[in-house]
Amino acid sequence: MKKILMTPGPTMIPEDVLLEMAEPIIHHRTKEFQEVLKDVEEGLKYVFQTKNPVFIFASSGTGGMEACVCNVLSSTDRALVIVAGKFGERWLELCKAYKVPCEVLDIPEGDAPDPEDIRKILQKEKINAVFSTLCETSSGVVSDIEAIGKICKEYETMLIIDAISGLCADPFFMDDWNVDVCVSGSQKGLMMPPGLSFVAVSKKALDESEKKSDLPKYYFSFKKANKALEKTDTPFTPAISLIKGLSVALERIKKEGLPNVIERHNKLAQATRASISALGLSLFAKRPSNALTSVRIPEGIEVSKLYNRMRDIYGVNIAKGQGELEDKIFRIAHLGYVEIFDIITTISALEMTLSDLGFSINFGDGVSEVEKAFKR
Ligand SMILES: *Cc1c(COP(=O)(O)O)cnc(C)c1O
């Protein structure tokens, strides 16, 4: 059976990236690897839209999130964490693990934070850093980081963004939007296997980490990473093969052009949403991300049955909900190495699965919307 992976991480990987990673290993303290690292650093700056250094860690995305918390904050600081789903919650858990006092702005899942609510909290309290999420992958919502950035700048509060699933799918401009620290990971929009996290760090956040931060850290130290990066080097053995693969993936993004990559994701998202509505299903996210589409499960159907059947019978791996949403929504990602025919396949498999499970649909109603949206 031919299989496709339509999940919000890991995502599918282009053949040239896979082949690059299959090459014999090279040593990292060589000119050859330095050239790769230099290219990758440039490519990462381009996708983050920043002039800041971008540190590369061998970890999943969460490792990069942990690096943000333990480098930028101090034990006497106070953080504001915006929680609109599972990944906002992860910021909160990380702050708690490092015993950083937190203010929490809790938002119902499916909603996006209202930037004015953040202003109200910053007006009242001394907050050192605001933690938010570009695309909250558990609900499929994209936040207005540009507006949040303006407010944080007004109050001279650092802004730390999890753009792990949003990067390359939703518009994001680290420098123009006043973001101090931004984290992403390899297995999402960057079309790579899991295993790398990336953290872009502003001058202000780097100063904070080098001069003030007293939280414990070793491997994830920004100071160590920065010192090495200034010499186009890494403090420890880097994930050499992954970084070589990343250079090919970033080359693809540069060639397509970041604005075109984001426009492609936008088109895929619009086509997916149109087809879902045409099938009589309802969309979950109020401010939907380009990275994935979250769909309410219709009455009488179990998410796990739909999910298992789509994967096992039709070869299309989508995602269930997470946490409290596990059996309430399903999620179709259109993230990374995805084109319109992957969406057609997915919607076709969804139509057949819904029909198998006794939900009334007309075959082709969803698929034809994908084609129409694509031709629009
Ligand atoms: C995937 C993801 C993460 C990180 O997950 P890992 O499993 O640690 O790579 C964090 N935040 C968001 C928004 C994500 O989508």
146-162 residue pLDDT tens: 999 999 999 999 999 99
Which backbone phi and psi does 99 adopt, to 5 degrees?
A: 55, 35
pLDDT computed for residue 42 by the predictor: 98
| Ligand 1 site-directed mutation target among 7, 62, 89, most atoms within 8 Å of CB | 62
Report the separation in Å between the CA atom of 165 and the middle of ligand 1, taken as the mean of its atom positions: 7
Give the number of the atom of ligand 1 that is nearest the alpha carbon of residue 163. Answer: 13
Alpha-carbon span 190 to 337, nearest angstrom: 8
Burial of 252 (0-12, 13-18, 19+ CB in 10 A): middle
Alpha-carbon span 258 to 252, nearest angstrom: 10
Alpha-carbon span 111 to 118, nearest angstrom: 15
Give the number of the atom of ligand 1 that is nearest the alpha carbon of residue 64. Answer: 8
Report the separation in Å between the CA atom of 374 and the middle of ligand 1, taken as the mean of its atom positions: 29
| Ligand 1 site-directed mutation target among 87, 145, 292, most atoms within 8 Å of CB | 87
Left if phi > 0, otherwise alpha if psi is -120 to 50, otherwise beta: which for 189? alpha
| Ligand 1 site-directed mutation target among 164, 172, 292, most atoms within 8 Å of CB | 164
Strand (E) or helix (H) holding 185:
strand 181-185
- Percentage of the chain modeled with pLDDT above 90: 99
Which backbone phi and psi does 339 adopt, to 5 degrees?
A: -130, 180
Every domain range in the chain assigned CATH 3.40.640.10? 15-256
Question: In the CATH hierarchy, which fold is given to the domain comprising 15-256?
Answer: Aspartate Aminotransferase; domain 2 (3.40.640)
pLDDT computed for residue 376 by the predictor: 85
Give the number of the atom of ligand 1 that is nearest the alpha carbon of residue 185. Answer: 9
Every domain range in the chain assigned CATH 3.90.1150.10? 4-8+258-375
The binding-site residues of ligand 1, defined as CB within 6 angstroms of any ligand atom, are 8-9, 60-62, 87, 133, 137, 162, 164-165, 185, 194
pLDDT computed for residue 101 by the predictor: 96
Burial of 88 (0-12, 13-18, 19+ CB in 10 A): buried
Q: How far is CA 246 from CA 28, 125, 174, 192, 197, in A?
A: 15, 42, 20, 7, 11
3-state secondary structure 133-162: ECEECCCCEECCHHHHHHHHHHCCCEEEEE
**Are the beta carbons of 359 and 302 closer than 8 angstroms?**
no
Architecture field, domain 4-8+258-375: Alpha-Beta Complex (3.90)
Give the number of the atom of ligand 1 that is nearest the alpha carbon of residue 65. Answer: 10
Which backbone phi and psi does 133 adopt, to 5 degrees?
A: -130, 130
Sign (positive or negative) of CA dihedral 170, 338, 373, 348? negative
- Regions of the chain with pLDDT less than 50: none
Report the separation in Å between the CA atom of 305 and the middle of ligand 1, taken as the mean of its atom positions: 25
Give the number of the atom of ligand 1 that is nearest the alpha carbon of residue 166. Answer: 13
Report the separation in Å between the CA atom of 280 and the middle of ligand 1, taken as the mean of its atom positions: 30
Evaluate the omega torsion of the peptide bond into residue 101 and state whether it is cis, within 30 degrees of 0. Answer: no
Nearby residues of 314 by Cβ (< 8 Å), 6 or more positions away = 349, 352, 353
Reading the block at residue 110, the tokens are: 């499916």
Report the separation in Å between the CA atom of 9 and the middle of ligand 1, taken as the mean of its atom positions: 8
The closest alpha carbon to 175, from 65, 51, 70, 292, belongs to 51
